[in-house]
Amino acid sequence: MGDARRPPAVPIPDPGTADRTELYRALEASVGSAFSSDPLAPNPNPLIIVISGPSGVGKDAVIKRLREVREGIHFVVTATSRAKREGEVEGKDYFFVSKEEFLAMVHRDELLEYALVYGDYKGIPKRQIREFMANGYDIVLRVDIQGAATLRRILRNSAVFVFLVAESESALVKRLIDRKTETKETLLVRIATAREEVRHMNNFDYVVVNAEGKLESSVKLVESIIDAEKAKVRQRTVAI
Ligand SMILES: Nc1ncnc2c1ncn2[C@@H]1O[C@H](COP(=O)(O)OP(=O)(O)OP(=O)(O)O)[C@@H](O)[C@H]1O
């Protein structure tokens, strides 16, 4: 190693007037080793980003837009034992499997997390995550608050947990009304659940306010979170 305080073995030309290459070479000779072109920062690790939040807050809308504007993201396709609905595409909306096949997957420990939702099984295939991460993709998982709590127990700090909220309870209710997918009963259930769910915010790393008409800003903020995570000195490492 060269010592910067040691008098230079070769004369260093005046930086104000010297030829750039000549000065560079003289500095190399002076420090005693060639300047390396290797990157000074290591390549960032692929990330797992868990996006969650109350029903109707805009999880699907944010993820859909994120996939349009950002490359290198794989959105995990869930496996389910429920029957395929009209218009749904195998491998795009879900991987449709029989209940027996699903339980066999559980038995073979092929699922990162699974749950019984209204009588149907839903689960996250590990292999898909492994394969895409091995190819450098970041992984996005969309889960409900319950699923996020389970994933937090499994993944701890190896994944980034993003909590999506509306700007206010009133805005969330209006959005649910406007979506026109709910009955009187399910509206009341979703509102009561959302009230309860906001209390889980502390389990997350980041909160993103998806305000009315501000989808683009929300997506930008999620992108900034991903960029900041990539710039971390101590990267998260995932073992699945
Ligand atoms: N920032 C926004 N401004 C206005 N409308 C929005 C915004 N974000 C989402 N929406 C709309 O709000 C509705 C609910 O969004 P979305 O279906 O993405 O929510 P979700 O969180 O995925 O809901 P669920 O958990 O019930 O599936 C949709 O009609 C969507 O287009």
ipTM (interface predicted TM):
0.94
Domains annotated on the chain, with CATH:
48-231 (3.40.50.300)
Tell how far the Cα of 111 is from the centroid of ligand 1, in angstroms: 27
Sign of CA dihedral 86, 89, 93, 96: positive
Instruction: List pLDDT tens digits, range 150-190.
Output: 999 999 999 999 999 999 999 999 988 998 888 999 999 98
Q: Is 179 a catalytic residue?
A: yes
Mutate to test the pocket of ligand 1, among 55, 60, 210 (most ligand atoms within 8 A of CB): 60
Tell how far the Cα of 120 is from the centroid of ligand 1, in angstroms: 23
The closest of 161, 154, 77, 162 to 113, measured between CA atoms, is: 154
Q: Give the whole-angstrom CA distance, residue 240 versus residue 233.
A: 22
Tokens linked to 209: 């306010």
Please give the C-alpha separations between residue 235 and each of 45, 91, 158, in angstroms, as whole numbers: 7, 31, 9
Q: Is 153 a catalytic residue?
A: no
The closest of 143, 125, 138 to 73, measured between CA atoms, is: 138
pTM (two decimals): 0.87
Instruction: List pLDDT tens digits, range 75-86.
Output: 999 999 999 988
Ligand 1 contact via 200 beta carbon (within 6 Å) = no
Ligand 1 contact via 60 beta carbon (within 6 Å) = yes
Q: Is 195 a catalytic residue?
A: no
pLDDT score at 191: 92
- Spell out where 91-239 has E strands: 95-96, 111-117, 120-125, 138-142, 160-165, 206-209
Tell how far the Cα of 67 is from the centroid of ligand 1, in angstroms: 16
Ligand 1 contact via 57 beta carbon (within 6 Å) = yes
Q: Give the whole-angstrom CA distance, residue 84 versus residue 93.
A: 9
Tokens linked to 45: 């690790």
